[in-house]
Amino acid sequence: MPLFDIQISQDEPVYVISVVSRLVSLPVWTLRQLDKAGIVRPKRIGKKSRLYSLKDIRRLEYVHYLMEDKHVNIHGIKIIIAKEEE
């Protein structure tokens, strides 16, 4: 018997910052800085709460790779992502 058969769009913001932090192995304060820099734009609920989508999480996995494996800082990541989106 299947438990759930729920389809969630990749763009649907459903993950809170604490869960995303664990999923992508980045501290909450880093996620806030990435939001402030415009690298990832989670949906805001009220003034403080952020909700992330699967698409945001995939981008954060890439950001984590750039930070940890390639030693790129937030400013560099912003430039890399901007170039890739052109």
Domains and CATH numbers, the chain: 15-85 (1.10.1660.10)
Listed as own residue / partner, the contacts of 37-42 with beta carbons closer than 8 Å and 24 or more positions apart are 37/74, 37/75, 37/77, 37/78, 38/78, 39/63, 39/74, 39/77, 39/78, 39/81, 42/13, 42/17
Instruction: Read off the pTM.
Output: 0.89
Extract the tokens encoding 47.
Answer: 């003034």
At residue 56, the pLDDT reads 98
Distances (CA, A) of 2 to 5, 6, 10: 7, 11, 22
pLDDT digits (tens, 9 = 90+) for 64-86: 999 999 999 999 999 999 999 99
Q: Is 76 helix (H, G, I), strand (E, B) or coil?
A: helix
